[in-house]
Amino acid sequence: MSVHVYVDETRPRNQGASLTAWELAHHGASHTLIVDNAGGHLMQHGLVDMVIVGTDRTTANGDVCNKIGTYLKSARRARQLGCRSMSRCRRPPSTGRCTMASRRIPIEERSADEVNFIQGRSDDGSITRVRIAPEGGHAANPAFDVTPARLVTGLITERGVAEASPQGLKSLFPERA
């Protein structure tokens, strides 16, 4: 099976551009870097079969907390356009981080500088920081959002794929039931 990965740049820290695309290139995986808001367009035109995102926390009912934008740009859009939305548990539910209710997950507010400035490598190879927003304005930078389990097709764990539900998690992690 041929797989091609579209990688969101992942603003504001650009981890998709600097980390994910690097890892895919390092492993010889076919990929294309896209701007964050291009994913819906690609899904709308039938170029995406599945959306895979990470999860920093997974609740007992299957909600996932991940990088800001996961809820709106990945899960909701995927559901609307008929794509599966899978979440890879970076910290698997077996670590005990699945007992928290969604409403209790603290959402970190990071520095506005991450939004007001971008950082990248210049042609001479040096790292450069450039302001992209006008001075004197305000920027908000919530780091994470929570995607409800009803928008997640499945949770990819070290023990296999589970339905994003209490029953699905219990089927893979019966010792946590």
Active site residues per annotation? 56
Strand residue runs (E) in 27-158: 31-34, 50-55, 57-58, 64-67, 84-89, 117-121, 127-131, 144-147, 154-157
Q: Which two tokens stand for residue 126?
A: 């040096």
CA distances to 22, 47, 57, 112, 158 from 147, rounded to whole Å, are 27, 23, 11, 23, 21
Residues 6+ apart with CB under 8 A from 143: 67, 68, 107, 108, 109, 110
Sequence length of the chain is 177
What residue has token string 């296999």? Answer: 160
Task: For residues 62 and 55, give the distance between their C-alpha atoms in angstroms, rounded to a whole number.
Answer: 11
